[in-house]
Amino acid sequence: MTKTLRLVLGDQLNIKHSWFSEVEEGVVYVLMEMRQETDYVRHHRQKVLAFFGAMRRFAAQLRAQGHQVEYLTLDDPENTQSLTENLVKLRARHGCEAVAYQLPDEYRLDAQLKEWAQQQSFTVTAVDTEHFLTDRTTLAEFFKGKKTYLMESFYRKMRKQYNILMAGKEPVTGRWNYDAENRKKLPKKFTIPPALVFKHDLSEIDTVLDQQGVETLGKGEASSFPWPLTREEGLQTLDHFVEHLLPLFGTYQDAMHTDETYLYHSRLSFAMNVKLLSPLEVVMRVEQAWQGDSERVSLAQVEGFIRQIIGWREYMRGVYWAHMPEYAMRNGLEHNRKLPEWYWTGETKMNCLGHSIRQSLDHAYAHHIQRLMVTGNFALLAGVHPDEVDAWYLGIYIDAIEWVEITNTRGMSQFADGGLVGTKPYVSSANYVHKMSNYCMSCHYDKKEKVGEKACPFNSLYWHFYDRHRNQLERNPRIGMMYRTWDKMDIEVKAQILRQADYYLEQVDTL
């Protein structure tokens, strides 16, 4: 019998993995809290608490099942704070002849372990995480020979492959996509069921972070931590979503409101991204809700949610593995500005940005439209360097792991990949924000004005963006209408708009 050290990373908390199906003599599982992971970007306090809290509970679960577990806390004097250096020490401590690990989902960790493994004289093996519905190479093989990708065609492939919302070879009702029906603003009078929150006491971890000098951002909520940290809590959150929120999820999935943080969203992303829940079980649970009571839960709600998981989630992972590491250096629009200082405080007179950023700092959470069409939209219009945007998104959100963050940020949000992920830049003037939210009602700026002291910055920056990137964008068939509209404007009006935008860019930290 070969004694083996098995590494479990902080986002590999999958108790359903075949590794854990039985207790094996001679196997030692290791989980580590490390400065290597807390410090590669400045993370939100709740993100660090969530990872360490979930890891500690997972280790306890493994021990309860009879597995031998070595858990290195951040303040353990034997902790070298390096993944590979810890593996060397722990292998020697336990007399293990071999090391095994599950394939990491981040390129940097994958590269670190591969390089280390090649240098060792003992056996090092890697196994699949048994979580995703696709392999790393599935998307690249599907789009082989194509210069650009189309998520919709990949999504349909996934639907067919897993027989999700299908009637034979065709989608149920004959429609693949209900996106057009899922873009409504919240009505003036509405009541959203409260989110299911937990009350974990993570004060011990919080104290260790302070003692070790870990720099974080945002609020901690350590004594009453609200996020699900175990598989059981993840399943409770899924049940709560299906029972109370799914019936209106699709309709209002793009809506934003100053009085609501979570709206009808599931809050499952952290639990899924650390693998407490599998995407297939989440999708099947949602599909079953529609099958069981289609009058209570319409197909539009269900399809909109399922598309996010088997469409976007798997798609973004495929893009990541098809194009890393060069993807992390793409800057197709050659943007080079710094991120405005108020992205770290929320102290801006623009209500949409102030609210979305403060919410993110308070809860480590913002839904996809707040990320794409508010904070991401402004950063793109302002010409912020995608490195700056990546670091902010990767740090501030509890569910942000690079494989899903960077493709959404550098790709879909910032159009820095040259249109690989998105077929057009996702930019808008104040009109879209007003259409989908109540943010503009109490804003310092006027959503209707393009120039003047109270003109909404989104309006002039929108046209400034298209004007300065005309050579790169005007041949894009999805945005040709914008240039035709711009060309029809009076020359002096255009000049005023561009001057207004230049002024705002010079004074961006004071907006």
Give domain limits for the chain.
4-127, 138-323, 341-510
Show the tokens assigned to 95.
């007399």
Show the tokens assigned to 34.
């490390």
Show the tokens assigned to 368.
């996809």
420 vs 128: CA distance, rounded Å: 27
Nearest alpha-carbon partner for 17 in 82, 100, 96, 124: 100
Within this chain, domains 4-127 and 138-323 share the same CATH topology: no
Instruction: Report the SS3 class of residue 52.
Output: helix
Share of the chain above pLDDT 90, in %: 92
Q: What is the pLDDT of residue 1?
A: 67
Q: What is the pLDDT of residue 480?
A: 84
478 vs 474: CA distance, rounded Å: 9
The whole-number mean pLDDT for each consecutive block of 10 residues of the chain, a chain of 511 residues, reads 93 98 96 97 98 98 97 97 97 95 98 96 96 96 87 94 95 89 86 94 97 95 96 98 95 94 96 98 97 93 95 96 96 97 97 97 96 97 98 97 96 94 92 95 95 96 96 89 92 96 97 95
Nearest alpha-carbon partner for 248 in 269, 268, 234, 262: 262
Show the tokens assigned to 207.
């104290």
Instruction: Report the SS3 class of residue 124.
Output: strand
262 vs 366: CA distance, rounded Å: 8
Question: In sequence order, what are the beta bridge partners of 320?
Answer: none
5: left (phi over 0), alpha (psi -120 to 50) or beta: beta
303 vs 297: CA distance, rounded Å: 11
Q: Which residues contact 271 (CB under 8 A, 6 or more apart)?
A: 227, 228, 231, 233, 234, 237, 277
Nearest alpha-carbon partner for 89 in 101, 102, 77: 77
**CATH code linked to domain 4-127:** 3.40.50.620
State whether the Cα torsion 330-331-337-342 is positive or negative. negative
How do 170-171 and 166-167 pair as beta strands? antiparallel
Q: Are the C-beta atoms of 261 and 227 separated by less than 8 Å?
A: no
Q: What is the pLDDT of residue 395?
A: 97
Q: Which residues contact 399 (CB under 8 A, 6 or more apart)?
A: 269, 270, 272, 273
Instruction: Report the SS3 class of residue 71.
Output: strand
User: To the nearest 10°, the Cα dihedral for 268, 265, 315, 124?
Assistant: -10
247 vs 289: CA distance, rounded Å: 10
Provide the CA 212 distance to its chain's centre, in angstroms.
27
Nearest alpha-carbon partner for 93 in 28, 23, 9: 28
Q: What values do phi and psi take at 50, rounded to 5?
A: -65, -50
Q: Are the C-beta atoms of 336 and 388 separated by less than 8 Å?
A: no
Question: In sequence order, what are the beta bridge partners of 166?
Answer: 171
Domain 138-323: state its class.
Answer: mainly alpha
Domain spanning 341-510, CATH architecture: Orthogonal Bundle (1.10)
State whether the Cα torsion 305-310-315-320 is positive or negative. positive
What is the number of residues in the chain? 511
